[in-house]
Amino acid sequence: MMLETTWFVLWGVLWAMYFALDGYDLGLGTLMPVLAKDERDRRIMYNAAGPFWDGNQVWLITAGGVTFAAFPATYAALFSGLYTALMLLLFALILRGVSFEFRRKVDSEAWRKVWDVCHVAGSFLPALLLGVAFANIFMGIPLNAQGINEGGLLDLLNPYGLAGGVLFVLMFSLHGALWLGVKAQGPIADRAAAMAEKLWMALMVMVVLFLALTAVFTQLFVNYLNNPVLFAILLLPVAGLIQARLALGRRAMVKAWAASAVAIIGVTLFGVIGLFPALLPSSLDPAYSMTIANSASSPKTLKIMLGVALVFVPLVIAYQSWLHVTFGHKITDADLEYEEAY
Residue 141, strand partner residues: 282
Is this prediction's pTM over 0.85? yes
Chain centroid to CA 241: 16
Instruction: Determine which helix (DSSP H) or strand (DSSP E) holds 280, and give its type and residue range.
Output: strand 278-280
194: left (phi over 0), alpha (psi -120 to 50) or beta: alpha
Task: Give φ, ψ of 148 to 5 degrees.
Answer: -100, 135
From the list 188, 140, 190, 184, the residue with the least C-alpha distance to 161 is 140
Calculate the average pLDDT of the chain.
92
52 vs 246, more confident:
246
pLDDT score, position 89: 92
Q: What is the pLDDT of residue 30?
A: 97
Give me the mean pLDDT over the 79-93 stretch.
87
Are 310 and 321 in contact by the 8 Å Cβ rule? The answer is no
- Residue 277, phi-psi category: left (phi > 0), alpha (psi -120 to 50), beta (remainder): alpha
The H or E element that residue 290 is part of is strand 290-291
Mean pLDDT of 212-241: 93
C-alpha pair distances (Å), 210 with each of 6, 81, 117, 256, 270 = 28, 24, 30, 23, 12
Helix (H, G, I), strand (E, B) or coil at 291: strand
